[in-house]
Amino acid sequence: MATPRHAFLMWIAQSNRMPTRVRLASWGLGVSSNCCLCDSAPETHDHLLLRCDISKQVWVLILSRLGYTHSCFITWTSFIEWLSLRDSTIPLIFKRIVAQGTIYIL
């Protein structure tokens, strides 16, 4: 019960294999390591998907639409733990589908 593109990208992100700018720079490619969204911090896995100001704004909007009052994650580990928690706000499968779609968009 997932969109294949979103599920695949989520798998890549969960495996920490996303081609972030920091990773590309470590491979010797001549790219800036700053975030492509905010250009104020190194573009790491956690920064790009969770900590960047733009990402935070997207998550606040998404979470408020789902009925949550604040984001409860700032690291990838806490994000994955949040995805595993069952609560009375929304069904677990819907939470995962929305999270996968958001990661895909970001």
Residue 21, in any domain of the structure: no
Q: Cα 56 from chain centroid? A: 10
pLDDT of residue 21: 86
Which pLDDT value is given to residue 69? 79
> Within a domain: residue 88?
yes
Q: What confidence score (pLDDT) does residue 93 get?
A: 92
Dihedral angle of Cα 89, 56, 78, 2, to the nearest 10 degrees:
60
Residue 2 is assigned to a structural domain of this protein: no
Cut 0.85: pTM above it? yes
- Give how many domains the chain has, as a whole number: 1
Distances, alpha carbon 98 to alpha carbons 25, 35, 63, in Å: 31, 23, 9
Predicted pLDDT at 55? 93
Classify 92 as helix, strand or coil. helix
Check residue 68 and give its pLDDT. Answer: 87
Residue 30's pLDDT is what? 87
Collect the ranges in the chain with pLDDT lower than 50. none
Collect all residues with Cβ–Cβ distance below 8 Å to 58 and sequence separation of at least 6.
102, 105, 106
Answer whether residue 73 is part of any domain: yes
Structural domain of residue 60, as residue ranges? 41-106
**Is-contact 103 13, C-beta < 8 A?**
yes
Q: Is residue 100 part of a domain?
A: yes
4 in a structural domain: no
What is the structure's pLDDT at 74?
A: 82
Which residue type does 64 have? S
For residue 90, being part of any structural domain is answered with yes
Instruction: Determine, yes or no, domain membership for 32.
Output: no
